[in-house]
């Protein structure tokens, strides 16, 4: 039997928001992108301070397993409100600006 070679060289330009590219409506895609970005920044702050998951949990006021979810990128488990609260507890208050 002969195998056919698939042409996978087709490239589609990104819209700039992966969630829009995945088919989410604009409003939902913006919230998901904000959550993902804020989550990454919170995780970077935890790493920069060299906090263990246990010590980060104490600072954030959550269980160690919640910090584990954060470090594993489980965006669906965190609301935007919760991530803003985490940022504030780490001394990095979040700020949202409307585009011009």
Domain boundaries, the chain: 19-89
Contacts of 32 (CB under 8 A, 6+ apart): 19, 24, 75
Rg of the chain, C-alpha, whole Å: 18
Question: 61-80 pLDDT, tens per residue?
Answer: 999 999 999 999 998 899 99
pLDDT in tens, the chain (100 residues): 566 666 667 777 777 787 888 888 888 888 888 999 999 999 999 999 999 999 999 999 999 999 999 999 998 899 999 999 999 999 999 888 888 7
Beta strands in 26-80 (DSSP E): none
Q: What CATH number should be reported for the domain whose range is 19-89?
A: 1.10.260.40
Distance CA 90, CA 96 (A): 17
C-alpha separations of 39 from 12, 18, 89 in Å: 27, 16, 13
What is the DSSP-derived secondary structure letter of residue 84? H
Q: Look at residue 22 and give its three-state secondary structure.
A: coil
Distance CA 14, CA 12 (A): 6
């Amino acid at each position: 039997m002969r195998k056919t070679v698939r042409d996978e060289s087709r490239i589609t330009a990104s819209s700039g928001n992966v969630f829009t590219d995945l088919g989410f409506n604009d409003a939902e895609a913006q919230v998901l992108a904000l959550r993902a970005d804020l989550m990454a920044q919170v995780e970077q702050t935890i790493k920069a301070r060299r906090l263990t998951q246990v010590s980060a949990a104490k600072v954030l006021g959550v269980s160690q397993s919640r910090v584990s979810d954060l470090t594993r990128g489980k965006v669906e488990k965190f609301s935007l409100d919760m991530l803003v609260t985490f940022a504030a507890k780490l001394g990095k208050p979040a700020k949202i600006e409307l585009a011009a």
